Amino acid sequence: MTRQMSGAKMIVQALIDQGVDTVFGYPGGAVLPIYDEVFQQNAIRHILVRHEQGAVHAAEGYARSTGKPGVVLVTSGPGATNAVTGLTDALMDSIPLIVLTGQVPTFMIGSDAFQEADTVGITRPCTKHNWLVKETDKLAGVIHEAFHVATSGRPGPVLVDIPKDVQFATGTYMPPKPSTSHYQPKLKGDMDAITELVAAIEKAKRPIFYTGGGVINSGPAASQLLRELVAATGFPITSTLMGLGSYPASGEKWIGMLGMHGLYEANMAMHDCDLMINIGARFDDRITGRLDAFSPKSIKAHIDIDPSSINKVIKTDIPIVGDVGHVLEDILKVWKSRGRKTNAEAVAKWWTQIEEWKKVDCLKFTQKGKTIKPQHALARLEALTKQYDRYICTEVGQHQMWAAQYLGFEDPNRWMTSGGLGTMGYGFPASIGVQIGHPDALVINVAGEASWLMNMQEMGTAVQYRLPVKQFILNNERLGMVRQWQELLHGERYSHSWSDALPDFVKLAEAFGAKGILCSDPADLDDAIMEMINHDGPVIFDCLVTKHENCFPMIPSGKAHNEMLLGEAETQGVIDSKGSVLV
């Protein structure tokens, strides 16, 4: 049904018709007509953040935990530029977002008007696609297409820039219909390649599944199919940071996360395997280590919906372009029809080897003395929160890696972390988005004190909407990961990597009308964590931890998977000059 209405009303109507229930945003001059329409309806809930970056990360948290696209509404100029970090973050991690920005009226574009910025120009490289809409009649069509582009193929953020006169003018509203644009990514994998992979699965002696965020982006069905395939073949499975939860951490074939701070057994198995099945991961540099030494003896299969991921860094023997869910379904179908064969004897021997590696127990630590070890804090957090309907966000740094190592994820969409861009300040607003999507769940943001301060203004949002998000801050008064690298390759010269003049986090919480908990004694930790869980409201948990703890295991830059550092042993000089230019 087409109707005449103002551009501003059209925007709200299009969002409603797209099934949007929540918008994260911040008003300003160039979006006032839209905010006026938001005011006059009840179908969409608007969450007022305290900074536009917070709006985008909150929308990311909402999108990753619900599987629905996140929607953001911000004003022109600074509103749009503040959204850039979040857009880049979402692009790197393939998170579907629709960001609506106001723009100065069309007749003022290019005149350096107040709060004017070339938003589509600035955001062109950090969105999957963007549009500047200059005619009200085209507005609804563009917004519907924006949802199509953001959510199909490899998901990503899109931006629609809407001048103020377009919002005021009247035009014809078109309801959503299936997209007829040429952008229709291919979902089904090539059957010949799939058959080739099945043949490799049947013969493999040392196979490994290497899974990534693509499994989660493909939807819950893909995770189910993955679990079925792993159970049926009995092959070991590892995952990237982005893919945690697609296979349960308690699953018997789980060998832990891989990569720079991944588990010893996972990295060794990647190095020594003879068949690597990459499902929705992208051979990121945090995963591969030194490229010429990356898994030298394996046949590599790569399933990815984005053709540009194939052969980007690692040469693939069996490329399969398609949606993970569709491809896994076909793999299972073909494998079953060919008699469910694997080289069980060789795979059993492979498992014996993996069990040997597991005995290294690379995550072991000893909690002694009067200071809480960060690993201990997370191990206790895991033990005390496991049974809850739990969602975990993180900031970026050592705490993020420890969280990935010491917390177990049983289901997809339960783990929100900035993987590709590594955005400090991501976790807190993301936890707000998660809590909005899951009002009754236990949402915890594992943070470092430095990262957390980057978006601490969102305490206002948490308190305003009574969101009981738990900010679990591992406070070492250091930029821990930066400090660790300075120790390893800059002669322990700790240049600007400490957090001076920190606030009193308990008083800070109280100043916002929230609860603050300080914990410094290992003996008090369990009680303090329980107090945090049981408090019905936002909590800042200031957990004072060892100041110079390093995150291990670690593959130093420029090294191979089988050259991991396991602990505090000789770490000086392990990164050579070639490795030190890498990040």
Q: Which residues of this chain interact with other proteins, rule CB under 8 A? A: 120-121, 124-125, 128-129, 132, 149, 182-183, 186, 190, 193, 306-308, 310-312, 315-316, 319, 321
Q: How far is the CB of 301 from other proteins (least distance, A)?
A: 12
- The gap from C-alpha 120 to its chain's centroid, in whole angstroms, comes to 24
Q: Minimal distance in Å, beta carbon 38 to other proteins?
A: 28
Q: Which strand ranges, in their side-by-side order, compose the sheet holding 515-519?
A: 415-416, 390-394, 442-448, 470-475, 539-544, 515-519
Q: Which of 41, 114, 191, 356 is catalytic?
A: 114
Shortest gap between Cβ of 320 and other proteins (angstroms)?
8
**147 is known as an active-site residue:** no
Q: State in angstroms the smallest separation of the CB of 157 from other proteins.
A: 12
State whether the Cα torsion 294-296-298-299 is positive or negative. Answer: positive
Q: Which is nearer to other proteins, 94 or 342 (CB)?
A: 94
H/E/C letters for each residue in 402-462?
Answer: HHHHHCCCCCCCCEECCCCCCCCCCHHHHHHHHHHHCCCCEEEEEEEHHHHHCCHHHHHHH
3-state helix, strand, coil in the chain (%, to 5): 40, 20, 40
CB-CB neighbours of 495 under 10 Å? 9
Task: Say whether 52 is catalytic.
Answer: yes
- Tell me which residue has tokens 């057994």: 265
Minimum distance from residue 293 beta carbon to other proteins (Å) = 15
**Residue 528 near residue 545 (C-beta atoms within 8 A):** no
Which amino acid is residue 408, in one-letter code? G
**Hey, how many other C-beta atoms are within 10 angstroms of the C-beta on 359?**
9
> By C-beta, is 170 or 308 nearer to other proteins?
308
Q: How far is the CB of 158 from other proteins (least distance, A)?
A: 9
CA–CA gap between residue 474 and residue 466 (Å, rounded): 23
Contact 133, 8 (CB under 8 A): no
**Comparison of 125 and 491: residue with beta carbon closer to other proteins:** 125
Query: Do β-strands 539-544 and 515-519 pair in parallel, antiparallel, or remain unpaired?
Result: parallel
Q: By C-beta, is 46 or 129 nearer to other proteins?
A: 129
The rounded radius of gyration (Å) of the Cα atoms in the chain is 24
235 a catalytic residue: no
Catalytic-residue membership of 481? yes
Q: Which is nearer to other proteins, 36 or 306 (CB)?
A: 306
* Contact assessment for residue 451 and residue 368, using Cβ atoms and an 8 Å cutoff: no
Cα separation, 566 vs 357, in Å, equals 12
Catalytic site residue from 37, 52, 265, 449:
52
For other proteins, the closer CB: 133 or 430:
133
Tell me how far, at minimum, the Cβ of 124 lies from other proteins, in Å: 6
Q: In whole angstroms, how far apart are CA 571 and each of 152, 396, 476, 582?
A: 45, 22, 20, 17
Sheet strand arrangement including 157-163: 45-48, 22-25, 70-74, 97-103, 157-163, 129-132
Does the CA dihedral 175-178-184-187 come out positive or negative? positive
Contacts of 161 (CB under 8 A, 6+ apart): 80, 101, 103, 119, 120, 130, 131, 132, 133
Least distance between other proteins and beta carbon 439 (Å): 35
Q: How far is the CB of 289 from other proteins (least distance, A)?
A: 18
Instruction: Choose, from 115, 224, 353, 457, the residue flagged as catalytic.
Output: 115
Rank residues 60 and 304 by Cβ distance to other proteins and give the closer one: 304
Q: Which is nearer to other proteins, 132 or 266 (CB)?
A: 132
CA angle, 95 as apex, 70 and 121 as ends, to 5°? Answer: 85
Of 164, 253, 470, 515, catalytic: 164
Residue 22 CA to residue 43 CA, distance in Å, equals: 9
Residue 519 main-chain phi, psi, to 5 deg: -135, 125
Two tokens, residue 374: 């960060």
| Among 61, 83, 66, residue whose Cα is nearest residue 74 | 83
Q: Which is nearer to other proteins, 138 or 490 (CB)?
A: 138
The phi, psi pair for 444, rounded to 5°, reads -120, 130
Of 257, 481, 532, 564, the catalytic one is: 481
Q: Is the peptide bond before 553 cis (omega within 30 degrees of 0)?
A: yes
Residue 125 or 513: the one with the smaller Cβ distance to other proteins is 125
- Are 156 and 90 a contacting pair, CB within 8 Å? yes
Smallest distance from the beta carbon of 510 to other proteins, in angstroms? 46
- The DSSP secondary-structure symbol of 288 reads H
Q: Which residues are catalytic?
A: 52, 114-115, 164, 481
